[in-house]
Amino acid sequence: MPNQDFLRRLPESDQTLRRRDRLQQRVHLDFWLLLLLLTITVGGLFVLYSASDQSVATVKRQGVYFIIAYIAMIFVAQVPVHFMRRLAPWAYVVAVGLLVLVIFHGVGAKGAQRWLSLGGFRFQPSELMKLAMPIAIAAYLGQRHLPPAFKHIFWTLVFVFVPVVLIVKQPDLGTSILVAASGLMVLFYAGISWRYIFAAVLAALLSLWPLWQFVLHDYQKRRVLTLLNPEADRLGAGWNIIQSKTAIGSGGVPGKGWLQGTQSHLDFLPEGHTDFIIAVLAEEFGLIGVLVLLGLYMLVVARGLMIALRAQESFGRLLAASITLTFFVYVFVNIGMVSGLLPVVGVPLPLVSQGGTSLVTLLAGFGILMAIATEPRKVIR
C-alpha cells in the first residue's frame, strides 16, 4: 500500500476486543449476519417445498445451491479488502467484456439472450456484473476526494451506464435495475450533491417518454400497462398479478397453513417457486409470515449498514453500503411487484426464490460484507 505510514496495525492483544469478536475476526465471518441469512434460507426452503408442489428434488437441488453459495460466501469473506480494491478494475473490464460477448455468442430462452455457454456449463455475465459494479465504482470513488467532483461523477455514470445498457439489451430489465442501483448507490453514499440528484430525477422524468417510445420492449410496456390496470387483460398479462394478489389476499392474517395454499397448489399462481414465491408465503403463512420475513430482511439491512458505518475506509464503507442497499432494492422490487405496487420486472426474492446463480452472487456479496466487517483494524492517524 502506498501510504503505510499513515496506518498502524492495531495490536493483536487489544483488551477491548471481546473473545467472540476475536473469533469472528479470525474466521472472517459476521455471526449476526450469518445467523440471519441462515434463518431466511432455511425458512425459504420450507416455502419452496410447498411452492414446488412438495418436490423433494427441487428442495434438494436448492439445498445444494445453498451449500455452494455459502462456500462462495465464506471464500469471498477471506479475501483481503485491499486485494478486492486492486482487483476491481480487472473484474469490471472482464465483466463488461463478457457482457459484450453475450451479444455475439450468448444463448438464451424466451427471446432473451443472457447466458454464455462454457462447455455445458451456463454462465450469466450480468450476475458477475452485480458484484463487479459496486466494487469498481467504490474503488474508483474511494480514491477520490469526497464528495466527488463533477468529472468523477461523469465517469462514474459512464461506468454504470455501459454495462446497464448491455444488460437492458439482453433484455433483462430486472438485473439491469439491480446493477444500476448497485453502482448509483455508491455514488449516493460518496456524497453526490443533492442538486445533482434532483437534476437527475428531473431528467429521468423527462426521459420517460423517449424511453417508452424507443427503449422499452413491447412485453415490458405491457407489464407497466398491466400494472396500471390488471383487469384489462385478465387471462393474459394481468393473470399473474391478479392471481398473486388473490393468493396474498386470501391468506389473511394467519394464512391457510403450510401446504394448504390453494392458489399455488392448484397452479393458479404462475412462477410460484421463483419470482412469485412471496405470494405462496403470504397465502400459507398470512400477514404474520410476511411480517416475520420483512423483519428478517430489515435486520439484514440494518446489520449491513452497521458494517458499512464501522468500515475503516471509504472503499469498504461505500461497497458495504451499496451491497446492503442493493439487497434492499431486491427485496422491495420483488415484493412490490408481486403485491402489485410495481411492474413485473423479473427480480427474484433474495434468498428464497429458486435459482442457483443469483444466489451465489448474492451470498458472495454478503461475503464481501463480512470481509469488510472483519478487516483487521487499521488506525488512522
Partner 1 sequence: MSEARHFKDHHREAKIFVARAIFTALAIVLLTGMLLVRFYSLQVTHHQDYVTQSDRNRVHVLPISPTRGLIYDRNGELLAENRASYTLSIVHERVEDLGQTLDTLGDLVDISANDIEKFNDQLRQKRRPFDPVPLRYNLNEEEIAHLAVNEYRLDGVEVHAQLVRNYTHGELYAHTLGYVGRISEKELAGFDEDTYQKYSGTHSIGKIGLEREYESMLLGDVGYQNVETNARGRVLRVLDSRDPKPGQDLVLHMDTEVQREAHAALDGRRGAVVAIDVATGGVIAAVSAPSFDANLFVTGISFKDYRLLNQSRDLPLFNRFLQGQYPPGSTIKPVVGMAGLHHNVITPQDTIYDPGYYRLGNDKRLYRDWKRRGHGTKVDLLQAIAESCDTYFYDLGHNLGIDDLHSFGSQFGLGDKSGIDIPSERRGLWPSRAWKRGARGLAWYPGDTLNVSIGQGDVLATPLQLAVMTATLASRGRHFRPQLVASIGGQEVAPTLVEQVEVAPEHWETILNAMHEVVHGLHGTAKSINRGADYEMAGKTGTAQVVAIAQGEEYDSEALSERNRDHALFVGYAPFEQPQIAVAVILENAESSSSAAQISRRVFDVWLNRENN
Q: Does 247 bind partner 1 (CB under 8 A)?
A: yes
Pick one of 51, 99, 129, 282: the residue that binds partner 1 (CB under 8 A). Answer: 282
CA distance 46 to 179: 29
Q: Which stretch binds partner 1 (CB under 8 A): 41-49, 93-101, 214-222, 248-256?
A: 248-256
CA distance 6 to 2: 10
Minimum Å gap between C-beta 246 and partner 1 is: 5
Q: Does 308 bind partner 1 (CB under 8 A)?
A: yes
Write out the binding residues for partner 1, residues 189-218 only, by CB under 8 A: 189-191
Q: Write b or e for each residue in 188-224: b if 16 or more Cβ atoms lie within 10 A of its Cβ, otherwise e.
A: bbbebeeebeeeeeeeeeeeeeeeeeeebeeebebbe
Write out the binding residues for partner 1, residues 214-243 only, by CB under 8 A: 243
Pick one of 268, 296, 299, 377: the residue that binds partner 1 (CB under 8 A). Answer: 268
Q: Tell me which residue of 316, 357, 353, 363 sits closest to 331, measured CA to CA.
A: 353
Minimum Å gap between C-beta 313 and partner 1 is: 8
Q: Which stretch binds partner 1 (CB under 8 A): 155-163, 169-177, 220-228, 287-295?
A: 287-295
CA distance 369 to 324: 8
Cβ(334)–Cβ(274) under 8 Å?
Answer: no
Minimum Å gap between C-beta 299 and partner 1 is: 12
Minimum Å gap between C-beta 59 and partner 1 is: 21
Please count the CA atoms within 13 angstroms of the CA of 186 that sit on its side-chain side.
33
CA distance 112 to 220: 12
Of 118 and 228, the one with the shorter C-beta distance to partner 1 is 228
Q: Which amino acid type is present at position 8?
A: R
Question: Angle at Cα 129 formed by Cα 335 and Cα 83, nearest 5°?
Answer: 120
Whether the ω angle into residue 147 lies within 30 degrees of 0, i.e. cis, is: yes
Q: Tell me which residue of 288, 331, 316, 329 sits closest to 374, measured CA to CA.
A: 316
Pick one of 63, 108, 340, 355: the residue that binds partner 1 (CB under 8 A). Answer: 340
Q: Does 336 bind partner 1 (CB under 8 A)?
A: yes
Pick one of 199, 204, 267, 379: the residue that binds partner 1 (CB under 8 A). Answer: 267
Minimum Å gap between C-beta 314 and partner 1 is: 6
Pick one of 138, 321, 363, 368: the residue that binds partner 1 (CB under 8 A). Answer: 321
Q: Tell me which residue of 134, 121, 208, 202 sits closest to 164, measured CA to CA.
A: 134
Q: Which stretch binds partner 1 (CB under 8 A): 23-31, 110-118, 302-310, 361-369?
A: 302-310
Q: Does 252 bind partner 1 (CB under 8 A)?
A: yes
CA distance 138 to 140: 5
Pick one of 61, 82, 169, 245: the residue that binds partner 1 (CB under 8 A). Answer: 245
Q: Which stretch binds partner 1 (CB under 8 A): 123-131, 165-173, 203-211, 303-311?
A: 303-311
Q: Tell me which residue of 39, 136, 134, 43 sits closest to 93, measured CA to CA.
A: 136
CA distance 232 to 169: 28
Pick one of 165, 201, 215, 291: the residue that binds partner 1 (CB under 8 A). Answer: 291
Q: Does 262 bind partner 1 (CB under 8 A)?
A: yes
Q: Does 61 bind partner 1 (CB under 8 A)?
A: no
Q: In DSSP terms, which residues pair with 117 in a beta bridge?
A: 122
CA distance 311 to 230: 45
Q: Does 158 bind partner 1 (CB under 8 A)?
A: no
Q: Does 273 bind partner 1 (CB under 8 A)?
A: no
CA distance 237 to 220: 11
CA distance 332 to 75: 28
What are the cell numbers at 323? Answer: 451491497
Cβ(379)–Cβ(7) under 8 Å?
Answer: yes
Q: Does 143 bind partner 1 (CB under 8 A)?
A: yes
* Number of residues near partner 1 (by CB under 8 A): 51
Minimum Å gap between C-beta 72 and partner 1 is: 26
Site residues, partner 1 (CB under 8 A): 2-3, 143-147, 188-191, 243, 245-253, 262-263, 266-268, 282, 286-287, 290-291, 294, 298, 301-302, 305, 308-309, 314, 317-318, 321, 325, 328, 332, 335-336, 339-341, 380
